[in-house]
A and B are shown apart, each in its own frame.
Chain A
Amino acid sequence: MQSTVVNREAGVKKRRSRSPLDRDANRTGWLFVAPMVLGFALLLFIPLMMALYMSLTDWPLLGKASFVGLDNYQAIFSDKEFWKVLGNTLYFAAGLVPLNIGLALLLALPLAGKLPGMGLFRTVLFIPVMTSLIVWSIVWKYMFATDSGFINQLLQLLGVTGPSWLYDESLAMPVVIITSVLKNVGLNMVLFIAALQQVPVHLYEAAKLDGANKFTTFFRITLPMITHTLFLTIIMTIIGSFKVFGQIYVMTQGGPVGSTEVLVYYIWEKAFKLYEFGYASALAYVLFIIILALTLLQWGLRKRWVMHEG
């Protein structure tokens, strides 16, 4: 990072004095970035501001919108449904994040090594990442079917009568969590493999000379050396879990009895099924603020690490 800054400054000075091209660097530069910047302004920034305004109004599908100030936000905080939905979202995140990170790490440890056949395992474990979330969720919904679904058939072979997984208030969310972990664990796994392979070998050799066992080596060398990747990955995974939608839509539609109704599903319902655009925009802004806070946390951590390393 630092070296690129130095390079750039040196380059600018050198070229300013001799390159005819940079006399109109401003014009060319802006011309090159213009489509992206314009597109961003029109399709991202303006809608973002518009959503903020809408969250301060009562905006029905038909008829006129009226400005209501912070009423929507007040309504959110006294909306029992909202707290339940937020609780469900936190439940999903609290289940998914540790399972995903833990499993990804457990898989990455052997895969980062040099045992034969690891490439094949890596490929297989990455396949679900490549698969459409919708297809993945459809197939698992089918496998978790109550009457003669594949999972319950396996249980029946063992002499156990399987529960009605996705129609059971206390089991639906765990099923969604586990299938979501399996879908995406390969991504974090690959990031961990890359991080593990960058740990200098001489550290392990030194530890071996000192007679450290595997567990000591893991907790005193491996883990500290990959904390950087670990924390960034954890935050990315938390952000992703707050935006969970597709698997809920396919597998449970928020049910049974609202037990898997999560934040984005609630926003989607309010906006595009009930057409309460003002209220839904306020809900969306609550989501935005949560994600903003997590992203700022991530940036802060990254900055600290970069300085620390530099």
Chain B
Amino acid sequence: MRADHLSIRRWDRLSGLMQYAFLTVVSAVMLMPFLWMVSTSLKEPAKVFLFPPQFIPTPIRLSNYTEVLQSIPFHLFYWNSVYIAALVTLGTIFFASLAGYAFARIPFWGRGVVFLLLLSTMMIPNEVIAIPMFLFLREIGLINTHVPLILLPIFGAGGVFGVFVMRQFFLGIPKELEEAAMVDGYSRAQIYSRIMMPLAKPAIATLVIFTFLASWNDFFDPLIYISDRELMTLPLALSLFTDESGTAWHHLMSASVMATLPLLIIFFFAQKQFIEGVSMTGLKE
């Protein structure tokens, strides 16, 4: 079965075109909800369900945004989401790198067993521990506070994942660096904070993005543990709007744009790090 070169080249060009066509169609489907979200967020209420559909609204109505900001404590939801995600990220980086370093480099008794035990908990679904956790938190008065939203992810599956990522990274750092520092009289804590952590920037960056995103988008935990409006995070607050009959779509869409846009902008600038981080951890996991 040997085809002549001319037809192969023609076939290559055709398949190249088909590849572009296919990617363009799928990308268009992926972008459609974003375009429609932005478009609706700028529409007058009466024109939201206008037929035929209007992509570029006339007139453009920016007041949808200000109305949302005035009618609901949007800034509170935003702040709750931001500061919870930030604390979860900070906590995860700190505790996971500390443990990850010890698992990689300090030959303490029971290291292997403890590490395996930690790893095996990554598969415990959140939903299983949610019920006893809910009752326990209610008992000690921490229901309807941000404490569970901050502490549970740090020491849950996300934190364990962090320990794993950090350990893998520290294993790859040459031992000679540490040994030189030991000769200089550094303690373990000093080696960790002055030598290992500065070297671990790429792993930390990956972990920051993963952890922040997971916390920012978390829905199940806030749904269970939070009931006061002022304490809600963005996803939970947004989900409640759809419950009400006669949803004000123009407002809901402008709220959605405000909730989505900052993260997409960050992603746009950090995408290389992010996508490489995903493939790195995904393959070695």
List chain A positions with a Cβ less than 8 A from chain B.
4, 7-8, 11-12, 15-16, 19-22, 25-30, 32-33, 35-37, 39-40, 42-45, 47-48, 50-51, 54, 103, 106-107, 110-111, 113, 115, 117, 121-128, 130-136, 138-143, 145, 147-148, 150, 153-154, 156-157, 182, 187, 190-191, 193-195, 211, 213-214, 229, 232, 239, 243, 245-246, 249-250, 264, 267-268, 271-272, 277, 280-281, 284-285, 287-288, 291-292, 295
Contact = CB atoms under 8 A, between A and B. Distances in A.
Contacts of B128: 48, 51, 281, 284-285, 287-288
23 contacts: A19-B179, A20-B182, A26-B108, A35-B95, A121-B23, A123-B268, A127-B264, A131-B260, A131-B264, A138-B241, A139-B34, A142-B40, A142-B247, A145-B49, A153-B52, A156-B51, A191-B283, A211-B3, A246-B220, A267-B127, A271-B131, A277-B131, A281-B131
B245 interface: no
A297 to B, nearest CB: 11
B127 A284 contact: yes
Contacts of B15: 214
B200 interface: no
A11 B173 CA distance: 13
A8 B103 CA distance: 11
Interface string B22-45: 110011011111101100100000
Contact of B36 (A16, A139, A195, A288): A139
Interface string B105-117: 0111101001000
B249 A40 contact: no
B132 A295 contact: no
Nearest to B284: A1
B278 A191 contact: yes
Contacts of B26: 103, 107, 125
Given A48-B128, A130-B263, A142-B40, A40 B121 contact: yes
Interface string B171-194: 100010001001000011000100
Contacts of B140: none
Interface in B224-278: 224, 234-236, 238-239, 241-242, 247, 249, 252-253, 256, 259-260, 263-264, 267-268, 271, 274-275, 278
A74 B29 CA distance: 46
B242 A143 contact: no
A142 B130 contact: no
A135 B77 CA distance: 14
B82 to A, nearest CB: 13
Nearest to A192: B279
Given A32-B98, A141-B242, A292-B123, A37 B118 contact: yes
Contact of A182 (B29, B234, B259): B29
B141 interface: no
B84 interface: no
A28 B106 contact: yes
Interface of B: 1-3, 15-16, 19-20, 22-23, 26-27, 29-34, 36-37, 40, 49-53, 95-96, 98-99, 101-103, 106-109, 111, 114, 118, 121, 123-125, 127-136, 151-152, 154-156, 159-160, 163, 171, 175, 179, 182, 187-188, 192, 213, 216-217, 219-220, 223-224, 234-236, 238-239, 241-242, 247, 249, 252-253, 256, 259-260, 263-264, 267-268, 271, 274-275, 278-280, 282-283, 285
Nearest to A43: B155
A272 B224 contact: yes
A33 B217 contact: no
A268 B108 CA distance: 42
Kindly list the 8 A-B residue pairs having the minimum CB-CB distance in the complex, ordered from nearest.
A29-B108, A39-B155, A194-B279, A32-B102, A148-B49, A50-B132, A47-B129, A29-B106
Contacts of A182: 29-30
Contact of B1 (A21, A36, A213): A213
A240 B217 CA distance: 15
B124 A36 contact: no
B136 A29 contact: no
Contacts of A121: 23, 27
B110 to A, nearest CB: 8
B102 A132 contact: no
Given A29-B102, A44-B121, A271 B130 contact: yes
Contacts of B133: 43, 47
A287 B264 CA distance: 33
Nearest to A296: B123
A150 B236 CA distance: 25
A271 B151 CA distance: 22
B278 A130 contact: no
Nearest to B96: A36
A35 B118 contact: no
Nearest to B28: A124
A7 to B, nearest CB: 8
A285 B127 CA distance: 9
Contact of B267 (A127, A139, A288): A127
Given A30-B108, A43-B152, A124-B31, 8 more contacts: A39-B155, A115-B16, A125-B27, A139-B253, A195-B283, A271-B131, A280-B131, A291-B125
Contact of A29 (B31, B107, B175, B264): B107
A153 B134 CA distance: 44
A191 B192 CA distance: 31
Nearest to B235: A134
A33 B252 contact: no
